[in-house]
Amino acid sequence: MRDFSYEISEDMKQRWSPRAFSTEPVDMDDLMALFEAARYAPSFFNEQPWRFVVADKEEELKVMRGILNENIQEWANKAPVLVVLVAKKSFANGEPNNWHAFDAGTAWGYLTLEAQRRGLITHAIGGFSKIKAHELLAIPGKFEVLAMIAIGKIGKKENLSIALQEQEEPANRKPLKELVFHGRFRS
Ligand SMILES: Cc1cc2nc3c(=O)[nH]c(=O)nc-3n(C[C@H](O)[C@H](O)[C@H](O)COP(=O)(O)O)c2cc1C
């Protein structure tokens, strides 16, 4: 059960990360609109370090599924779209961009909220091989592989294993008082 002490956007309140994906494809305009949303995220010096490697065709999905850990494949293999989010680690002059991951995370946040607005579901994934992602998707070393994202439509919970069915609900959050400190840090 989620609780909210303050009024925030309905999309933020409703968004969560289901694992029960339907195999139904995602409309291309809807899919591209998610990247449009991500594109308008703010970034340090407007560097826009994020890049999205997208699989929405069976041959591409087969490769992308091979990058996922086995326990993730159990549910993510049904998703009609898989994405690898990467970010460029340096600026054009070769200086390191220490905000590349921060900015790419913001872009993911925009993407997931636009998906929610359009009735799509998203699930970010850390359970995959970054080495395989570099190798199989030809991602150059100057880009850091950050996360994978499953995108699609909500499917039937009953199609998940019993263990996953038990976790299939929106998660709550820590109370604001544990997260926000006025004046100085408190642990
Ligand atoms: C960077 C990142 C990596 C994640 N990796 C996984 C994962 O490997 N497996 C998984 O089941 N969920 C994964 N999640 C989903 C989180 O567990 C989920 O967002 C969190 O429990 C909060 O739940 P909610 O999104 O439903 O509100 C990941 C989320 C993020 C942001």
Categorize the per-residue pLDDT at 186 as very low, low, confident or very high, splitting at 50, 70 and 90: very high
Ligand 1 centroid – CA 24 distance (Å)? 22
Read off the pTM. Answer: 0.98
Ligand 1 centroid – CA 75 distance (Å)? 13
For ligand 1, mutation pick of 15, 17, 73 (most atoms within 8 Å of CB): 17
Q: What is the dihedral of CA 10, 11, 17, 18, to 10 degrees?
A: 80
Category of 45 on φ-ψ map: left (φ > 0), alpha (ψ -120 to 50) or beta = left
**The tokens of 75 are what?**
């549910």
- pLDDT by residue (tens digit) across 46-68? 999 999 999 999 999 999 999 99
- Ligand 1 atom closest to Cα of residue 108: 31
Ligand 1 centroid – CA 93 distance (Å)? 35
- pLDDT by residue (tens digit) across 153-182? 999 999 999 999 999 999 999 999 999 999
- Ligand 1 atom closest to Cα of residue 16: 26
Q: Tell which residue, 30, 63, 89, has the closest CA to residue 148.
A: 63
Q: Which top CATH class is 17-179?
A: alpha beta
- pLDDT by residue (tens digit) across 64-106? 999 999 999 999 999 999 999 999 999 999 999 999 999 999 9
Does residue 1 have a pLDDT over 90? no
Ligand 1 centroid – CA 135 distance (Å)? 24
**The tokens of 61 are what?**
């999905």
Pocket of ligand 1 (CB under 6 A): 16-17, 72, 123-127, 147, 170-171
